[in-house]
A and B are shown apart, each in its own frame.
Chain A
Amino acid sequence: MGMKLTGFAIVAVIACALPYMVELYQVEVLIILMFNLILAQSYRLVNTTGDWSLSHIVTMGVGAYSSALITKMLGWPFWLSLPLSGCVAGAIGFMIVFPLLRTIGFGFFIGSFALGEFVRLIWVKFHYPFGGPRGLINIPPASIGPFDISDMIVYYFFCLGIAVLSIWIMYRIDRSHIGDTFKAIHTDPTLCETVGIRVPRYRAMAFVIGAFFAGIAGALMAHHQGAIDPHSFEATLMVYLIIFVVVGGVETFWGPILGVIVMTVVFELSRPLEEWRPLIAGAILIFFLVVMPGGLEILVPKAMAILRKVSAIDRLLPKAPV
């Protein structure tokens, strides 16, 4: 317990100090890191039932478009549009997953891609209200009441707060009976049905909750960028999301977070080679699939064991004479 608390305290201090320690353009990277944390964690939530979705980026886009339209056209405040756009993304998520509940595995994978593209093409085709291929511009910056929170550092802390809150809620779900139900469905759906679990309902629930949080991430992104277009939610971006969770692993709750942080650092360090990024990402993906299919998370218990051994040796050694 003490070790856990210390760990959290260290992470909290780092998260708060980080924006002051890096250059201003890197604060931008940190803000995107927050979107990606919510996105990857919600993707894992969908994945706990065993479903690999290819429409998660699109549900994020639904959140982005919703919040942009709600604030632009209805003139509603940002603090209201943020949760609302999560709900819209959840509703669209339900429409995407409903016909897919009859499919599993590869069928679900491809089906979710097709339905996601369907939603995305609606944005491309309809100039009103979605702006067509050019998307939406002049999305109002984020503000709460009279306070403008669009300043980089302020917005970073706002996104950090939303990310922590979202991850905490998803953690509660993961640890609850519902989270266990999701995982049990992954292992043996037939057995789950015979003990009275309505498998399709729970698969849909995981998908909709995941879509809700993806929508929140999308809304945060829309108001940060000020402009969005259908290209920002293409399937190629889905590949990056999959890389995050493959690098981190999906077995444990903290895997995707680890993956997002590590990949963000890797991309940041390889900034001079920016045009090579897809190649680097592909190489990393293949490396992990072949050499370390469990992701980085499998290293954590090993590292902990070594740490413990080292501290145990410390205690065993005779105290040096003063």
Chain B
Amino acid sequence: MVLLETKELSKYFGGLRALRDLSIEVEAGEIRGVIGPNGAGKTTLFNVISGVYKPSSGSVYFKNERVSAMSPSEIAARGAVRTFQRDAVIHDFSVLRNVAVARHLHTGQTLLKTLFGNIGRLQRQDEEKAEEILEFVGLYDLRHELAANLAHGFQRVLGIAIALATEPVLLMLDEPVAGMNPTETAHMTGVIDKLHKERGMTIMLVEHDMKTVMGICEKITVIDFGEKLAEGPPKEIKNDAKVVEAYLGAEDFVAQR
């Protein structure tokens, strides 16, 4: 089943072409890598899919529903949730509170219940669920720590925990291991792998770090100047002459191996 589909998606910023007639299909349960040189339009693609930008032309379908005119919150409510390249966490909240507030779509705390109900009990329900998620991503022991005090790598993991709190169907990770040391990278790839294998979550991954992408993705889409250059399993992509020339560069490619 096709979960996410972009149809001839284009996005222009003034005269700058960020995406051009990009058509991608992502199957349910797949883990897809999106790679490309700097400025190829990878992050723009995520911003358009998640509703931050409206496409200049073309459309995005999620679960066969056209979502490209919706706001980010409406798209998130349908199950397509993205993370950010930056440390997108609420810095002055504890780790646990970060995840609990992201339970927004599933919390029982409406305004009426806040005024007249037992908010202590509802709050605990949210926190229990948040603890479960933190256990899963390996941040449970840090749950009472202020998010601002976490190391960069842990903040990025927290970013994924926040996204998971919405119970997504499709998780879009924007350079999840950017700027991380090898230990942090290993932790992060472990989490992503577990999400895919244990939870069967559909994951889309934009990444610079070739080893990570080649290691965990089943299928890779290469984009350059906003256009699709190649698509296929990692092995094919590695040996695709066009990709090697346009993106990896022959020398780089050898070094990466």
Instruction: Classify the interface of chain A: helix, strand, loop or mixed.
Output: helix
Contact of B119 with A by CB under 8 A = yes
Q: Are A194 and B72 in contact (CB under 8 A)?
A: yes
Instruction: Report the separation of the CA atoms of residues A183 and B163 in the bound assembly, to the nearest whole angstrom.
Output: 18
Is B162 a contact partner of A175 (Cβ separation < 8 A)? no
Q: Is the Cβ of B76 less than 8 Å from the Cβ of A195? A: yes
- Taking the closest CB of chain A, its distance from the CB of B82, in whole angstroms, is 6
**Given A173, A183, A188, A196, which contacts B104 in the complex, CB threshold below 8 Å?**
A196
A181 at the interface (CB under 8 A from B): yes
- The interface residues of chain B lying within 8 Å CB-to-CB of A191 are 84, 88-90, 162
For B, the interface residue count at a CB cutoff of 8 angstroms equals 37
Whole-angstrom CA separation of A197 from B122 in the bound complex: 18
In the complex, chain B residues whose CB is within 8 Å of the CB of A269: none
Q: State how many angstroms separate the Cβ of A215 from the closest Cβ of chain B.
A: 17
The one of A181, A193, A198 in contact with B101, judged by C-beta atoms closer than 8 angstroms, is A181
Q: Which B residues are CB-close (under 8 A) to A177?
A: 100-101, 103-104, 107, 109, 114, 119, 122-123, 126
B76 interface neighbour in A181, A188, A194, Cβ under 8 Å: A194
Q: Which of B91-99, B195-203, B222-230 contacts A (4 or more CB under 8 A)?
A: B91-99
> Known contacts being A180-B100, A188-B90, is A193 close to B71, with CB within 8 Å?
yes
In the complex formed, the residue of A with least CB distance to B98 is A184
Is B81's CB within 8 Å of the partner chain A? yes
Question: Main SS of chain B's interface residues?
Answer: helix
Determine the chain B residues whose CB is within 8 A of the CB of A183 once the complex forms.
Answer: 90, 92-93
Whether A311 sits at the interface, judged by CB under 8 Å, is: no
Q: Is B50's CB within 8 Å of the partner chain A?
A: yes
Q: Is B165 an interface residue (CB 8 A)?
A: yes
Q: Does A308 belong to the interface (CB within 8 Å)? A: no
**Known interface pairs A194-B72, A195-B105. Does A173 touch B77 (Cβ–Cβ under 8 Å)?**
no
> A190-B88, A194-B82, A195-B166 are known contacts. Are A176 and B73 too (CB-CB below 8 A)?
no
* Chain A contacts with B in 117-174, Cβ cutoff 8 A: 169, 172-173
Q: Closest CB of chain A to B53's CB: distance in Å? A: 12
Of A184, A192, A198, A205, the contact of B111 (CB 8 Å cutoff): A205
Residue A199 at the B interface, CB < 8 A?
yes
**How far apart are the CA atoms of A176 and B109 in the complex, in Å?**
8
Q: Which chain A residues have a beta carbon within 8 Å of chain B's beta carbons? A: 169, 172-173, 175-178, 180-181, 183-184, 187-188, 190-199, 205
- Could you jot down 20 A-B contacts, CB within 8 Å? A173-B115, A177-B109, A177-B114, A177-B119, A180-B100, A183-B90, A183-B92, A184-B90, A187-B93, A188-B89, A191-B90, A192-B104, A193-B72, A193-B73, A194-B50, A194-B81, A194-B88, A194-B163, A195-B165, A196-B77
Binding site for A on B (CB under 8 A): 50-52, 71-73, 76-77, 81-82, 84, 88-93, 97, 100-105, 107, 109, 111, 114-115, 119, 122-123, 126, 162-163, 165-166
| 14 new A-B contacts at CB < 8 Å, known A183-B90, A195-B162, A195-B165 | A173-B115, A177-B109, A177-B114, A183-B93, A187-B90, A187-B92, A191-B84, A191-B88, A191-B89, A193-B76, A194-B72, A194-B73, A195-B104, A196-B105
